[in-house]
Amino acid sequence: MREFTTPPLALPPPVGGLADAVFDHALEEPLRIALGRKGDDGQWHDVTAGEFRDEVLALAKGLLAQGVRFGDRVAIMSRTRYEWTLFDFALWTIGAQVVPVYPTSSAEQVFWMMHDAQVTAAMVEHEDHAMTIGSVIDRLPQLHRLWQLDEDAVQELYEAGAHIDDDVVHRHRRAVTPESVATVIYTSGTTGRPKGCVITHGNFMFEADTVIERWEPVFHSKRGDEAATLLFLPLAHVFGRMVEVAAIRGRVKLGHQPQLNAAALLPDLAAFRPTFILAVPYIFEKVFNAARRKAEKDGKAGAFAKAVDVAVRYADAVEAKAFGTGPGPSPALRMQHQLFDKLVYSKVRDAMGGRVRHAMSGGSAMDRKLGLFFAGAGVLVYEGYGLTESTAAATANPPERTRYGTVGLPIPGATVHIADDGEVWLHGGHVFQGYLNDPKATDATLHDGWLATGDLGSLDEDGYLTISGRKKEILVTSSGKSVSPAVLEERVRDHPLVAQCIVVGNDRPYIAALVTLDAEAVEHWLQMRGKPTPKPADLVHDTDLETEVRRAVVAANTLVSQAESIRTFRILAHQFTEEHGLLTPSLKLKRKAIEQAYATEVEALYRA
């Protein structure tokens, strides 16, 4: 199949902007709990729709009083926290355009984005961010205001705007239309200087309303309960931003968690108790690996492995029945599944707060077996696909017919087309308006409303999309063999000891790989074998560990021909990190930067 369209469910809004939902909801249900906010006491506190409306209104007044005007671009540089959402909707209320900046951005990255977007004001989280901007402020003459959250910026703005009438704010809000620009989100820059994606209020409303209309039943853990989600994705990324908008528009209780690591996240999941979550595969991998390590420490590795097998087979049978290719789980399999639900699966669900029954995954590919395991364990993960340029999700798996290992069908109202060279093209109300100040890049990407994604993929007979890699990442060996690295890298990463894998081989005689290790998993692996923990530089020479990684490489090679297989690999002492410029903020590999940083190690892979 070369093209597939899903009929629309949500019509593009004819009038208004994103902030209208805040005021409409407060008018209709002022006492409904709209958000959860974690206080300085570490406890979660409810925020009603009426209270949030009042805070948005007060902040909007303050922004006007401080000189922010309709159409101005204002940067936000912060981790994911309540105040980001507050600023987003206050800025949208007065027709300003938000420019999100990753909190880990370097001074030069900050300069480029603020200069390119002609940012006139900025909100930062703390002093380090203020100093980062301060180091380049002499090159940003258009930047007139800088507020710092940890210096009580919100209260300062409340007081500054106290004298402004409500009607002044509402006149600004009524001037916002679906065609108005809501945000300029800069791409993560894996292949060069970041480009600013211009996304309108209408783009976000179409995307959010479509997701709400199609997937609203999965927001709840059981019929009739309050829908709630904990947002821990970075709000500087389009996925996190879409979650924020959809939660506010869909009347889902929204909480924020600023740290994307298990030690900080798991306690807040337990305390906030979301009914569904939206995450990247990394989070589900962490939950699964933590459960496996605990079972091994408790001497129950065999039982856990059996529970995984039962979950995968159970979910696989349910999937087959949904597509009419099987009868569903057998009575014996149902009994085994019921037993392990009490012994194992319930504990996996408890790790995510106890109420999660559904989740959405995006940002990168999820292994089919991992998706089947979570489905069998009672948490249905709907994998999707999208880009900044498509305002997040362009495809997603439908709740009633999830096909694990694919990224699903086009969202309602969208079309996916596969070009002659295998490139995925997208069309619909979610497609962005173009790149800021870059007509050449816009013309190369947008073709009569069609978005050329740069990703390679295929549609099956039912219209489900599978992504096979990036056009720009295809490796061509010196013998002329084209190799997509993604499938190999993902399979190597399936091994619990492997953190990252990058495949190399462009203009080389064969394919090779650099592999990094998961420190927590390796430490557990060593303990279980009674081995001491050596220094990272010595660990990479452990022959038993090398054998484990070799198994992962051999497993990956079964997916491809001999000419495409990984011939040799090298284990590195340290992981690729964003701080060293080797990962994007969304955890994607910066291939050129990694190959340059590890040029010596790459050369060693090809020595006779």
Q: How far apart are CA 292 and CA 307, in angstroms?
A: 10
pLDDT score, position 189: 58
pLDDT score, position 190: 52
Altogether, the residues listed in the chain come to a count of: 608
Looking at the DSSP assignment, which residues form a beta bridge with residue 459? 465
pLDDT score, position 63: 98
Q: Are residues 457 and 515 both part of a single domain?
A: no
Q: Are residues 404 and 423 both part of a single domain?
A: yes
**Low-confidence stretches of the chain (pLDDT beneath 70):** 189-192, 608
Rounded (5°) CA angle 196-197-201: 130
Q: Are residues 31 and 152 both part of a single domain?
A: yes
pLDDT score, position 541: 85
Q: Considering its fold, how many domains does the chain have in total?
A: 3
Q: Are residues 481 and 465 both part of a single domain?
A: no
Residue for token digits 């990962």?
A: 583
pLDDT score, position 545: 92
Q: How far apart are CA 215 and CA 401, in angstroms?
A: 12
Q: Are residues 298 and 313 both part of a single domain?
A: yes
User: Does residue 301 lie in a domain region?
Assistant: yes
Amino acid in the structure at residue 462:
D
User: Does residue 39 lie in a domain region?
Assistant: yes
Encode pLDDT of 194-244 as tens digits: 899 999 999 999 999 999 999 998 999 888 789 999 999 999 999 999 999
391, 377 contact by CB (below 8 A): no
User: Does residue 311 lie in a domain region?
Assistant: yes
Q: What is the secondary structure of 224-282 as a DSSP string?
A: TPPPEEEE-S-TTSHHHHHHHHHHHHTT-EEEE----SHHHHHHHHHHH--SEEEE-HH
Give the largest CA-CA distance in the chain: 77
541 contact partners, CB below 8 Å, separation of at least 6:
none
Burial class (CB in 10 A: 0-12, 13-18, 19+), 183: buried
Q: Which of 439, 470, 501 is the last residue of a domain?
A: 470
pLDDT score, position 137: 95
Handedness of CA 84, 213, 274, 54 (dihedral sign): positive
Candidates 58, 124, 126, 68; CA nearest to 97 is 68
Q: 311: domain CATH number? A: 3.40.50.12780
253, 226 contact by CB (below 8 A): yes
Q: Are residues 30 and 121 both part of a single domain?
A: yes
Looking at the DSSP assignment, which residues form a beta bridge with residue 44? 38
Q: 489: domain CATH number? A: 3.30.300.30
User: Does residue 212 lie in a domain region?
Assistant: no
pLDDT score, position 478: 84
353-374: b (≥16 Cβ within 10 Å) or e: bebbebbbbbbbbbbbebbbbb
Q: Are residues 51 and 67 both part of a single domain?
A: yes
Tokens of 224: 């009739």
Q: Which of 470, 492, 525 is the last residue of a domain?
A: 470
User: Does residue 446 lie in a domain region?
Assistant: yes
pLDDT score, position 467: 93
Q: Are residues 234 and 319 both part of a single domain?
A: no
User: Does residue 335 lie in a domain region?
Assistant: yes
pLDDT score, position 153: 97
Q: Are residues 287 and 422 both part of a single domain?
A: yes
Tokens of 282: 């990394």
pTM of the model: 0.90
Q: Which of 447, 470, 493 is the last residue of a domain?
A: 470
pLDDT score, position 192: 61
* Helix locations, 43-165, DSSP H: 49-65, 82-93, 107-117, 127-134, 153-160
pLDDT score, position 262: 74
Candidates 579, 594, 597, 497; CA nearest to 540 is 497
CA atoms within 13 A on the CB side of 107: 12
User: Does residue 202 lie in a domain region?
Assistant: no
User: Does residue 11 lie in a domain region?
Assistant: no
Q: Are residues 501 and 583 both part of a single domain?
A: yes
Q: Are residues 326 and 387 both part of a single domain?
A: yes
- Domain span at residue 461 reads 277-470
Q: How far is CA 274 from the centre of its chain?
A: 17
Candidates 58, 50, 18; CA nearest to 34 is 50
Q: How far apart are CA 255 and CA 38, in angstroms?
A: 8
Q: Are residues 129 and 266 both part of a single domain?
A: yes
